[in-house]
Amino acid sequence: MSDTATKAKATNDIKDIRLADEGRRRTEWAERSMPVLRQICERFTRERPLAGKRLAACLHVTTETANLAVALQAGGADVALCASNPLSTQDDVAAHLVKDHGIKVFAIKGEDHATYYEHIRAALAHRADITMDDGADLVGALHMIALNRLDDLAPPVRKWVETLSAAERKALVTGVIGSTEETTTGVIRLKAMAKDGVLQFPVIAVNDSQTKHLFDNRYGTGQSTLDGIIRATNLLIAGSTIVVAGYGWCGRGFAMRARGAGANVVVTEIDPMKALEAQMDGYRVVTMEAAAPIGDLFVTLTGNVEVIRVEHMRAMKDGAVIANSGHFNVEIDLEGLKKVAQGPVAVREFVEQFQIGGKKLFVLGEGRLINLAAAEGHPASVMDMSFANQALAAEYVVNNARKLSKDVHRIPVDLDEEIARLKLQAMGVAIDTLTPAQRKYLASWDMGT
Protein backbone atom coordinates (compact mmCIF):
# COMPACT_ATOMS: atom_id res chain seq x y z
CA MET A 1 0.00 0.00 0.00
CA SER A 2 1.33 3.47 -0.84
CA ASP A 3 2.16 5.91 1.94
CA THR A 4 -0.83 8.08 0.99
CA ALA A 5 -3.18 5.09 0.96
CA THR A 6 -1.89 3.96 4.36
CA LYS A 7 -2.50 7.44 5.78
CA ALA A 8 -5.96 7.59 4.22
CA LYS A 9 -6.99 4.42 6.04
CA ALA A 10 -5.38 5.23 9.41
CA THR A 11 -7.73 5.61 12.36
CA ASN A 12 -5.31 7.78 14.28
CA ASP A 13 -2.09 9.72 14.01
CA ILE A 14 -0.67 10.60 17.42
CA LYS A 15 2.78 10.95 18.95
CA ASP A 16 3.04 7.93 21.23
CA ILE A 17 0.35 5.54 22.48
CA ARG A 18 2.52 4.80 25.55
CA LEU A 19 1.60 8.24 26.93
CA ALA A 20 -2.02 7.07 27.43
CA ASP A 21 -1.85 6.42 31.18
CA GLU A 22 -0.55 9.92 31.91
CA GLY A 23 -3.30 11.33 29.65
CA ARG A 24 -5.97 9.31 31.46
CA ARG A 25 -4.83 10.53 34.89
CA ARG A 26 -4.77 14.16 33.78
CA THR A 27 -8.14 13.88 32.01
CA GLU A 28 -9.69 12.43 35.17
CA TRP A 29 -8.22 15.33 37.14
CA ALA A 30 -9.88 17.82 34.78
CA GLU A 31 -13.14 15.87 34.95
CA ARG A 32 -13.37 16.60 38.69
CA SER A 33 -13.85 20.29 37.79
CA MET A 34 -16.45 19.63 35.07
CA PRO A 35 -19.67 18.80 36.96
CA VAL A 36 -22.04 20.28 34.37
CA LEU A 37 -20.53 18.30 31.51
CA ARG A 38 -20.59 15.22 33.80
CA GLN A 39 -24.36 15.55 34.25
CA ILE A 40 -24.82 15.92 30.50
CA CYS A 41 -22.59 12.88 29.94
CA GLU A 42 -24.71 10.83 32.36
CA ARG A 43 -27.91 11.84 30.59
CA PHE A 44 -26.32 11.19 27.17
CA THR A 45 -25.36 7.68 28.34
CA ARG A 46 -29.02 6.98 29.17
CA GLU A 47 -30.69 8.76 26.25
CA ARG A 48 -28.11 8.37 23.42
CA PRO A 49 -29.28 11.54 21.57
CA LEU A 50 -26.39 11.36 19.08
CA ALA A 51 -26.80 7.66 18.23
CA GLY A 52 -25.76 6.81 14.70
CA LYS A 53 -24.22 10.24 14.04
CA ARG A 54 -20.65 10.76 12.86
CA LEU A 55 -19.06 13.82 14.44
CA ALA A 56 -15.80 15.44 13.35
CA ALA A 57 -14.28 17.86 15.85
CA CYS A 58 -11.40 20.27 15.22
CA LEU A 59 -10.58 21.46 18.74
CA HIS A 60 -7.55 22.02 20.96
CA VAL A 61 -6.70 18.47 22.09
CA THR A 62 -6.59 19.07 25.85
CA THR A 63 -7.82 17.22 28.93
CA GLU A 64 -11.06 19.23 28.85
CA THR A 65 -11.67 18.37 25.19
CA ALA A 66 -11.08 14.72 26.07
CA ASN A 67 -13.98 14.90 28.52
CA LEU A 68 -16.17 16.49 25.84
CA ALA A 69 -15.21 13.80 23.31
CA VAL A 70 -16.08 11.09 25.84
CA ALA A 71 -19.46 12.75 26.55
CA LEU A 72 -20.24 12.92 22.81
CA GLN A 73 -19.28 9.28 22.44
CA ALA A 74 -21.49 8.41 25.44
CA GLY A 75 -24.31 10.14 23.54
CA GLY A 76 -23.81 7.66 20.71
CA ALA A 77 -21.63 9.70 18.33
CA ASP A 78 -18.77 8.17 16.35
CA VAL A 79 -16.13 10.84 17.07
CA ALA A 80 -13.04 11.86 15.08
CA LEU A 81 -10.84 14.60 16.52
CA CYS A 82 -8.10 16.73 14.98
CA ALA A 83 -6.22 19.71 16.40
CA SER A 84 -7.35 23.30 15.86
CA ASN A 85 -3.82 24.59 16.36
CA PRO A 86 -0.44 22.93 15.64
CA LEU A 87 0.94 23.77 19.10
CA SER A 88 -2.05 23.10 21.37
CA THR A 89 -2.18 19.29 21.38
CA GLN A 90 -1.45 17.44 24.60
CA ASP A 91 0.08 14.22 23.26
CA ASP A 92 -0.76 12.18 26.35
CA VAL A 93 -4.43 13.13 26.02
CA ALA A 94 -4.45 12.14 22.34
CA ALA A 95 -2.99 8.75 23.33
CA HIS A 96 -5.56 8.27 26.10
CA LEU A 97 -8.50 8.93 23.79
CA VAL A 98 -7.20 6.43 21.24
CA LYS A 99 -6.22 3.70 23.70
CA ASP A 100 -8.97 3.89 26.30
CA HIS A 101 -11.93 5.10 24.22
CA GLY A 102 -11.17 4.08 20.65
CA ILE A 103 -11.72 7.66 19.49
CA LYS A 104 -10.06 8.54 16.17
CA VAL A 105 -7.49 11.23 16.96
CA PHE A 106 -5.26 13.00 14.45
CA ALA A 107 -3.05 15.46 16.33
CA ILE A 108 0.60 15.80 17.34
CA LYS A 109 1.98 18.75 19.31
CA GLY A 110 4.30 20.83 17.12
CA GLU A 111 3.06 19.30 13.85
CA ASP A 112 4.14 21.20 10.74
CA HIS A 113 1.74 22.98 8.39
CA ALA A 114 1.40 19.98 6.05
CA THR A 115 0.70 17.55 8.92
CA TYR A 116 -1.81 19.96 10.46
CA TYR A 117 -3.77 19.92 7.20
CA GLU A 118 -3.27 16.18 6.70
CA HIS A 119 -5.06 15.84 10.05
CA ILE A 120 -7.85 18.17 8.92
CA ARG A 121 -8.13 15.94 5.84
CA ALA A 122 -8.45 12.87 8.07
CA ALA A 123 -11.26 14.57 10.02
CA LEU A 124 -13.02 15.49 6.74
CA ALA A 125 -12.67 11.87 5.60
CA HIS A 126 -14.76 10.87 8.64
CA ARG A 127 -17.71 12.14 6.49
CA ALA A 128 -19.39 13.76 9.44
CA ASP A 129 -23.06 14.48 10.04
CA ILE A 130 -22.02 17.15 12.56
CA THR A 131 -18.81 19.19 12.65
CA MET A 132 -17.42 21.04 15.65
CA ASP A 133 -14.83 23.76 15.10
CA ASP A 134 -12.62 26.12 17.08
CA GLY A 135 -11.65 28.68 14.45
CA ALA A 136 -13.70 27.33 11.51
CA ASP A 137 -10.87 25.43 9.79
CA LEU A 138 -13.00 22.31 9.15
CA VAL A 139 -16.02 24.26 7.99
CA GLY A 140 -13.75 26.54 5.96
CA ALA A 141 -12.33 23.54 4.08
CA LEU A 142 -15.82 22.08 3.53
CA HIS A 143 -16.93 25.37 2.00
CA MET A 144 -13.94 25.58 -0.32
CA ILE A 145 -14.95 22.08 -1.50
CA ALA A 146 -18.61 23.13 -1.86
CA LEU A 147 -17.65 26.20 -3.88
CA ASN A 148 -15.12 24.23 -5.93
CA ARG A 149 -12.33 26.60 -4.82
CA LEU A 150 -9.80 23.79 -4.63
CA ASP A 151 -6.84 26.16 -5.06
CA ASP A 152 -7.73 27.69 -1.69
CA LEU A 153 -7.35 24.33 0.08
CA ALA A 154 -4.07 23.41 1.76
CA PRO A 155 -2.18 20.86 -0.42
CA PRO A 156 -2.89 17.71 1.68
CA VAL A 157 -6.62 18.42 1.56
CA ARG A 158 -6.63 19.50 -2.09
CA LYS A 159 -4.78 16.37 -3.28
CA TRP A 160 -7.27 14.15 -1.48
CA VAL A 161 -10.32 16.05 -2.75
CA GLU A 162 -9.00 15.73 -6.30
CA THR A 163 -9.21 11.93 -5.94
CA LEU A 164 -12.94 12.14 -5.10
CA SER A 165 -15.73 12.08 -7.67
CA ALA A 166 -18.05 15.09 -7.97
CA ALA A 167 -20.78 13.10 -6.19
CA GLU A 168 -18.43 12.22 -3.31
CA ARG A 169 -17.37 15.86 -2.92
CA LYS A 170 -21.01 16.96 -2.86
CA ALA A 171 -21.90 14.29 -0.31
CA LEU A 172 -19.13 15.52 2.01
CA VAL A 173 -20.92 18.86 2.30
CA THR A 174 -24.59 17.85 1.98
CA GLY A 175 -23.99 15.10 4.55
CA VAL A 176 -23.41 17.74 7.24
CA ILE A 177 -26.71 18.51 8.98
CA GLY A 178 -25.18 21.24 11.13
CA SER A 179 -22.10 22.51 12.82
CA THR A 180 -20.95 24.21 16.02
CA GLU A 181 -18.28 26.88 16.49
CA GLU A 182 -16.34 27.57 19.67
CA THR A 183 -14.52 30.88 19.28
CA THR A 184 -14.99 34.56 18.37
CA THR A 185 -12.74 34.38 15.30
CA GLY A 186 -14.62 31.34 13.93
CA VAL A 187 -17.99 33.01 14.49
CA ILE A 188 -16.79 36.14 12.65
CA ARG A 189 -15.75 33.98 9.66
CA LEU A 190 -19.06 32.10 9.68
CA LYS A 191 -21.16 35.27 9.90
CA ALA A 192 -19.21 36.59 6.90
CA MET A 193 -20.09 33.37 5.01
CA ALA A 194 -23.78 33.73 5.95
CA LYS A 195 -23.75 37.39 4.84
CA ASP A 196 -22.28 36.38 1.48
CA GLY A 197 -25.02 33.73 1.15
CA VAL A 198 -22.55 30.84 0.88
CA LEU A 199 -23.11 29.07 4.21
CA GLN A 200 -24.12 25.50 3.36
CA PHE A 201 -25.68 24.38 6.66
CA PRO A 202 -26.82 25.84 9.99
CA VAL A 203 -24.13 26.62 12.57
CA ILE A 204 -24.54 27.08 16.30
CA ALA A 205 -22.25 29.84 17.60
CA VAL A 206 -21.31 28.40 20.97
CA ASN A 207 -19.17 31.50 21.57
CA ASP A 208 -22.33 33.63 21.57
CA SER A 209 -23.74 31.83 24.64
CA GLN A 210 -23.36 33.92 27.76
CA THR A 211 -22.09 30.88 29.66
CA LYS A 212 -19.28 30.77 27.08
CA HIS A 213 -17.85 34.21 26.35
CA LEU A 214 -18.58 35.83 29.73
CA PHE A 215 -16.50 33.19 31.48
CA ASP A 216 -14.24 31.27 29.06
CA ASN A 217 -13.02 34.30 27.10
CA ARG A 218 -12.73 36.55 30.16
CA TYR A 219 -11.69 34.40 33.13
CA GLY A 220 -10.27 31.47 31.15
CA THR A 221 -8.15 33.50 28.72
CA GLY A 222 -7.32 36.01 31.46
CA GLN A 223 -5.78 33.43 33.75
CA SER A 224 -4.30 31.04 31.20
CA THR A 225 -2.65 33.76 29.12
CA LEU A 226 -0.81 35.02 32.16
CA ASP A 227 -0.01 31.40 33.06
CA GLY A 228 1.43 30.75 29.56
CA ILE A 229 3.59 33.87 29.64
CA ILE A 230 4.93 33.07 33.10
CA ARG A 231 5.64 29.42 32.23
CA ALA A 232 7.43 30.47 29.01
CA THR A 233 9.51 33.27 30.54
CA ASN A 234 9.44 33.14 34.36
CA LEU A 235 9.41 36.96 34.21
CA LEU A 236 8.23 38.99 37.20
CA ILE A 237 4.91 40.61 36.34
CA ALA A 238 4.86 43.02 39.30
CA GLY A 239 6.14 46.45 38.34
CA SER A 240 6.30 45.71 34.62
CA THR A 241 4.40 47.63 31.97
CA ILE A 242 2.10 45.32 30.01
CA VAL A 243 0.45 46.50 26.80
CA VAL A 244 -2.85 44.73 26.12
CA ALA A 245 -4.06 45.09 22.53
CA GLY A 246 -7.84 44.66 22.38
CA TYR A 247 -10.27 45.21 25.27
CA GLY A 248 -12.90 42.67 24.28
CA TRP A 249 -13.82 39.68 26.44
CA CYS A 250 -10.33 38.17 26.36
CA GLY A 251 -8.50 41.49 26.69
CA ARG A 252 -10.60 42.55 29.68
CA GLY A 253 -9.87 39.26 31.43
CA PHE A 254 -6.15 39.40 30.77
CA ALA A 255 -5.87 43.09 31.74
CA MET A 256 -7.65 42.31 35.02
CA ARG A 257 -5.31 39.43 35.88
CA ALA A 258 -2.16 41.34 34.81
CA ARG A 259 -3.16 44.24 37.05
CA GLY A 260 -3.87 41.80 39.86
CA ALA A 261 -0.33 40.49 39.52
CA GLY A 262 1.05 44.01 39.91
CA ALA A 263 1.61 45.15 36.33
CA ASN A 264 1.00 48.67 35.04
CA VAL A 265 -1.49 47.89 32.30
CA VAL A 266 -1.78 49.94 29.13
CA VAL A 267 -4.59 49.22 26.65
CA THR A 268 -4.84 49.81 22.90
CA GLU A 269 -8.21 49.66 21.09
CA ILE A 270 -9.91 50.71 17.86
CA ASP A 271 -13.47 50.73 19.27
CA PRO A 272 -14.36 53.97 21.09
CA MET A 273 -16.79 52.23 23.47
CA LYS A 274 -14.27 49.58 24.53
CA ALA A 275 -11.53 52.21 24.81
CA LEU A 276 -13.75 54.33 27.04
CA GLU A 277 -14.56 51.32 29.18
CA ALA A 278 -10.85 50.52 29.57
CA GLN A 279 -10.10 54.12 30.49
CA MET A 280 -12.88 54.13 33.12
CA ASP A 281 -11.75 50.74 34.41
CA GLY A 282 -8.59 52.62 35.32
CA TYR A 283 -6.18 51.59 32.56
CA ARG A 284 -4.13 53.97 30.46
CA VAL A 285 -5.44 53.92 26.88
CA VAL A 286 -3.01 54.90 24.11
CA THR A 287 -2.27 54.06 20.48
CA MET A 288 0.08 51.17 19.68
CA GLU A 289 2.53 53.77 18.38
CA ALA A 290 2.58 55.45 21.80
CA ALA A 291 2.63 52.12 23.65
CA ALA A 292 5.55 50.65 21.68
CA PRO A 293 8.40 52.50 23.47
CA ILE A 294 7.00 52.03 26.98
CA GLY A 295 5.93 48.36 27.12
CA ASP A 296 7.95 45.56 28.69
CA LEU A 297 5.47 42.93 27.49
CA PHE A 298 2.96 43.17 24.63
CA VAL A 299 -0.01 40.83 24.35
CA THR A 300 -2.45 40.84 21.43
CA LEU A 301 -6.04 39.62 21.98
CA THR A 302 -7.93 41.18 19.10
CA GLY A 303 -8.68 38.48 16.49
CA ASN A 304 -7.35 40.96 13.93
CA VAL A 305 -4.31 41.11 11.62
CA GLU A 306 -1.29 43.43 11.76
CA VAL A 307 -1.91 44.66 15.29
CA ILE A 308 1.82 44.83 16.09
CA ARG A 309 3.69 45.86 12.95
CA VAL A 310 7.36 46.33 12.12
CA GLU A 311 7.23 50.07 12.80
CA HIS A 312 5.99 49.27 16.33
CA MET A 313 8.67 46.63 16.89
CA ARG A 314 11.39 49.02 15.75
CA ALA A 315 10.22 51.47 18.43
CA MET A 316 10.18 48.90 21.25
CA LYS A 317 12.67 48.81 24.13
CA ASP A 318 15.60 46.44 24.17
CA GLY A 319 14.36 43.22 25.80
CA ALA A 320 10.67 43.74 25.04
CA VAL A 321 8.62 40.53 24.98
CA ILE A 322 5.77 39.99 22.50
CA ALA A 323 3.00 37.38 22.75
CA ASN A 324 -0.38 36.66 21.20
CA SER A 325 -3.47 35.07 22.71
CA GLY A 326 -5.88 35.74 19.84
CA HIS A 327 -7.01 32.75 17.81
CA PHE A 328 -4.66 32.88 14.81
CA ASN A 329 -0.97 33.73 14.57
CA VAL A 330 -1.74 36.82 12.47
CA GLU A 331 -1.75 39.58 15.06
CA ILE A 332 2.03 40.14 15.18
CA ASP A 333 3.74 40.75 11.83
CA LEU A 334 6.35 38.04 12.25
CA GLU A 335 6.99 37.75 8.52
CA GLY A 336 7.80 41.46 8.43
CA LEU A 337 10.02 41.12 11.50
CA LYS A 338 11.93 38.23 9.93
CA LYS A 339 12.67 40.43 6.90
CA VAL A 340 14.25 43.24 8.91
CA ALA A 341 15.70 41.41 11.93
CA GLN A 342 18.26 38.71 12.54
CA GLY A 343 16.87 35.54 14.02
CA PRO A 344 15.00 33.78 15.31
CA VAL A 345 17.39 32.28 17.84
CA ALA A 346 15.89 29.88 20.38
CA VAL A 347 16.52 31.19 23.89
CA ARG A 348 14.42 28.73 25.86
CA GLU A 349 11.33 26.70 25.07
CA PHE A 350 8.67 29.01 23.54
CA VAL A 351 11.03 32.04 23.55
CA GLU A 352 12.72 33.22 20.34
CA GLN A 353 15.08 36.16 20.06
CA PHE A 354 15.17 38.62 17.18
CA GLN A 355 17.91 41.22 16.79
CA ILE A 356 16.64 44.46 15.28
CA GLY A 357 19.14 47.30 15.08
CA GLY A 358 21.03 47.20 18.38
CA LYS A 359 18.04 45.75 20.26
CA LYS A 360 16.82 42.30 21.15
CA LEU A 361 13.11 41.45 21.04
CA PHE A 362 11.63 38.18 22.27
CA VAL A 363 8.61 36.51 20.65
CA LEU A 364 6.72 33.83 22.58
CA GLY A 365 5.27 30.63 21.12
CA GLU A 366 5.82 31.67 17.47
CA GLY A 367 3.01 34.19 17.88
CA ARG A 368 0.45 31.40 18.41
CA LEU A 369 -1.98 31.52 21.31
CA ILE A 370 0.40 31.48 24.22
CA ASN A 371 -2.01 30.01 26.77
CA LEU A 372 -2.25 26.82 24.73
CA ALA A 373 1.30 26.76 23.36
CA ALA A 374 3.15 27.23 26.65
CA ALA A 375 0.49 26.35 29.24
CA GLU A 376 -2.51 24.02 29.27
CA GLY A 377 -5.24 26.33 27.98
CA HIS A 378 -8.18 27.29 30.12
CA PRO A 379 -8.84 25.69 33.50
CA ALA A 380 -11.32 22.82 33.38
CA SER A 381 -13.88 24.59 35.54
CA VAL A 382 -14.48 27.25 32.88
CA MET A 383 -14.33 24.77 29.98
CA ASP A 384 -17.06 22.88 31.84
CA MET A 385 -19.53 25.54 30.69
CA SER A 386 -18.08 26.00 27.19
CA PHE A 387 -18.20 22.27 26.52
CA ALA A 388 -21.62 21.85 28.15
CA ASN A 389 -22.67 24.31 25.43
CA GLN A 390 -20.89 22.25 22.76
CA ALA A 391 -22.53 19.00 23.87
CA LEU A 392 -26.00 20.58 24.07
CA ALA A 393 -25.42 22.33 20.73
CA ALA A 394 -24.66 18.96 19.08
CA GLU A 395 -27.89 17.54 20.51
CA TYR A 396 -29.77 20.68 19.42
CA VAL A 397 -28.43 20.28 15.87
CA VAL A 398 -29.65 16.66 15.74
CA ASN A 399 -33.11 17.62 17.00
CA ASN A 400 -33.58 20.84 15.03
CA ALA A 401 -31.39 20.76 11.90
CA ARG A 402 -34.38 20.54 9.57
CA LYS A 403 -35.99 23.64 11.08
CA LEU A 404 -32.83 25.77 11.20
CA SER A 405 -31.94 28.10 8.32
CA LYS A 406 -28.46 28.08 6.78
CA ASP A 407 -27.32 30.80 9.12
CA VAL A 408 -25.39 31.32 12.36
CA HIS A 409 -27.64 30.67 15.35
CA ARG A 410 -27.33 30.97 19.10
CA ILE A 411 -28.09 28.12 21.43
CA PRO A 412 -31.56 28.85 22.96
CA VAL A 413 -31.40 31.17 25.98
CA ASP A 414 -33.13 28.64 28.25
CA LEU A 415 -30.32 26.11 27.63
CA ASP A 416 -27.73 28.83 28.31
CA GLU A 417 -29.49 29.67 31.60
CA GLU A 418 -29.79 26.02 32.52
CA ILE A 419 -25.99 25.68 32.21
CA ALA A 420 -25.53 28.69 34.54
CA ARG A 421 -28.02 27.18 37.01
CA LEU A 422 -26.25 23.80 37.03
CA LYS A 423 -22.86 25.49 37.45
CA LEU A 424 -24.08 27.51 40.44
CA GLN A 425 -25.60 24.36 41.95
CA ALA A 426 -22.28 22.52 41.53
CA MET A 427 -20.48 25.43 43.19
CA GLY A 428 -22.91 25.29 46.13
CA VAL A 429 -24.23 28.78 45.39
CA ALA A 430 -27.93 29.45 46.04
CA ILE A 431 -29.74 32.44 44.58
CA ASP A 432 -33.09 34.06 45.37
CA THR A 433 -36.25 33.51 43.36
CA LEU A 434 -38.78 36.21 42.48
CA THR A 435 -41.73 36.57 44.85
CA PRO A 436 -45.17 36.76 43.15
CA ALA A 437 -45.26 40.52 43.89
CA GLN A 438 -41.80 41.01 42.35
CA ARG A 439 -42.76 39.05 39.26
CA LYS A 440 -45.93 41.15 38.88
CA TYR A 441 -44.04 44.42 39.42
CA LEU A 442 -41.43 43.57 36.81
CA ALA A 443 -44.13 42.75 34.27
CA SER A 444 -46.25 45.86 34.89
CA TRP A 445 -46.11 49.46 33.68
CA ASP A 446 -48.81 51.09 35.77
CA MET A 447 -47.13 51.12 39.20
CA GLY A 448 -45.30 54.41 39.92
CA THR A 449 -44.14 56.21 43.06
Ligand X SMILES: NC(=O)c1ccc[n+]([C@@H]2O[C@H](COP(=O)([O-])OP(=O)(O)OC[C@H]3O[C@@H](n4cnc5c(N)ncnc54)[C@H](O)[C@@H]3O)[C@@H](O)[C@H]2O)c1
Residue numbers of the site for ligand X (CB under 6 A)?
183-185, 213, 217, 221, 245-251, 268-271, 274, 301-304, 307, 325-327, 369, 371
Minimum distance from residue 191 beta carbon to ligand X (Å): 12
User: How do 284-285 and 264-268 pair as beta strands?
Assistant: parallel
Least distance in Å: CB of 302 to ligand X? 4
Give the shortest CB-414-to-ligand X separation in angstroms. Answer: 23
**Amino acid in the structure at residue 374:** A
- Residue among 75 and 220 whose Cβ is closer to ligand X: 220
**CA distance to 119, 175, 434, per residue, from 58 (Å):** 9, 17, 42
Compare residues 231 and 360 and give the one whose CB is closer to ligand X. Answer: 231
The CA-atom distances, in angstroms, between 110 and each of 86, 88, 368 are 5, 8, 11
Cβ 203 to ligand X shortest distance, Å? 15
Nearer to ligand X, 301 or 419 (CB): 301
Question: Containing H/E element for 441?
Answer: helix 436-443
Whole-number Cα distances in Å, 351 to 237, 244, 245, 327, 362: 17, 19, 20, 19, 6
Would you call 445 exposed, middle or buried from its count of C-beta atoms within 10 A (0-12, 13-18, 19+)? Answer: exposed
Q: Which amino acid is at 403?
A: K
Using the minimum distance from each CB to ligand X, give the nearer residue, 153 or 245.
Answer: 245
How many angstroms separate the CA atoms of 126 and 104, rounded? 9
Residue among 74 and 382 whose Cβ is closer to ligand X:
382
Task: Compute the least distance from the CB of residue 354 to ligand X, in Å.
Answer: 21
Residue 119's SS3 state is: helix
**Residue closest to ligand X (Cβ):** 248
Measure the CA–CA gap between 384 and 211, rounded to whole angstroms.
Answer: 10
Provide the minimum distance between the beta carbon of 416 and ligand X in the complex, in angstroms, as a whole number. Answer: 16
Closer residue to ligand X (CB): 67 or 84: 84
